[in-house]
Amino acid sequence: MKLAFIIDPIERLDPTHDTSVALMETAQLAGHQVFITQATDLSVRDSQAWAKLLPVTLAPVTLGEGRWLAVEDWFSLGEALWQPLEAMDAVFMRTDPPVTVPYLYATYLLDYVNPAKTLVINRPSGIRAANEKMYALQFTSVIPETIVTSDREIIRAFVERRGAAVLKPLGGKAGEGILFLEPGDRNFNSLVEISTQRGQVPVMVQQFLPEAKAGDKRVILLNGEPIGAVNRVPTGSEFRGNMAVGGAAVKVAVTDRDREIAAALAPTLQRDGLIFVGIDVIGGYLTEVNVTSPTGMREIDRLDGVRLGDRVLDWLAQNSPTQ
C-alpha cells in the first residue's frame, strides 16, 4: 500500500513516544510505501486534493533498559513531489491540536479526497464534528457529571455542589490549561476569568473523580473496538496524569467496563468515520474522546510486548477501497 501521513514537522516528533512515527515504522517494516506531508502543503486542483509528499525512511526504535531507544538520525527524506492524494491507499490526518482555523481549512481540503479510492483516517467531517471535550457529552450513560459554560456563577454553584471539579479548555491538549477547582479557593474568580477570557469562551467543568490519583487510562479504539490500553499515573504533586506533564505510563488491561464504554461509542464513531481514536477513562467513566492525533501506542507496545500498528494495518488492508 501507499500511505500518506499529515503530521507536524517530523524533526519535532519524538520517535520513542509518537504514535504517528510508530504507525509509519510499522508500515515500513511491512513493506508499504510511506510518505509524509504537512497541513500547509495541501491544495485542491480540479476538485481533487493534492499534497507535497516526501517519501520517508525510518530507522526503527529498539527496546533497551525498559524504554525505546532511537538513533540520532532516525529518519531520512526523499525528493518532494506534488501528487493527488487519491494516489494513496490511505491518508492519516495526524496534525496535533489545537483545532485552529488553518486546521479546519485543512480538513475542508481533505474533503476533496475521493473516498472511493482513498481512505482518510480520521474522516475530515468527523474531526470537525468531534471536539475532543464536547463529543463525549452525547454518551450520557458513561460520563461523569459535566457542564459547559462561560458563566462564573454557574461554575461556582457546580463546584460548591460537587465539592471539587476539574475545569478544561475546550481546545486544549496534553493536559494544557486543566485546573482543579474547589470551594473557598481565593483564586477562584481569577482562574475562571482567565480560562473563560472574562466570560467570552465556554469551558468544560467536570466532577472531580478521586480515582484520578490511580491513573487516567488511555484506551485505543480501532473502528470502535478496544485494541490496547495504558494507564497514565500522576507523579509528584501534579494532579494530571497526562504523559506530556510527567505522568508515568503503567501497564494496564482493557476491562469489561472499557469494552462497555467502547460499545456505547462504536456506532457513533463508525457513523462519523472516526476509525483511530483514543478514549480517556477515569474510575470507569469516559472523560474525553481524542480523534485528532491520539497517542499511547508506543507505551502500549512497550508494556504489553505487542505492535498495535500491525492491527491497524491489518484492518486497513481489509477496508481500504482499493484492496
> Catalytic residue positions?
133, 168, 218, 232, 240, 280, 288, 290
Cβ distance 280 to 175 under 8 Å? no
The helix or strand, by DSSP H or E, that contains position 3, with its residue range, turns out to be strand 2-6
Q: What is the Cα–Cα distance from 197 to 186, expressed in whole angstroms?
A: 18
* Chain position carrying cell 469551558: 203
> Could you tell me the three cell numbers for 175?
493536559
d(CA 73, CA 75): 6
> In 3-state terms, what secondary structure has residue 130?
coil
d(CA 228, CA 220): 5
Q: Which residues partner with 64 through β-bridges?
A: 67
- Cell matching residue 12: 519535532
- Distance from C-alpha of 214 to C-alpha of 147, rounded to nearest angstrom: 24
Q: How far is CA 183 from CA 186, 202, 213, 238, 300, in A?
A: 9, 20, 20, 19, 38
DSSP labels, 154-211: HHHHHHHHHS-EEEEETT--TTTT-EEE-TT-TTHHHHHHHHTTTTTS-EEEEE--GG
10 Å CB burial of residue 257 (0-12, 13-18, 19+) is middle
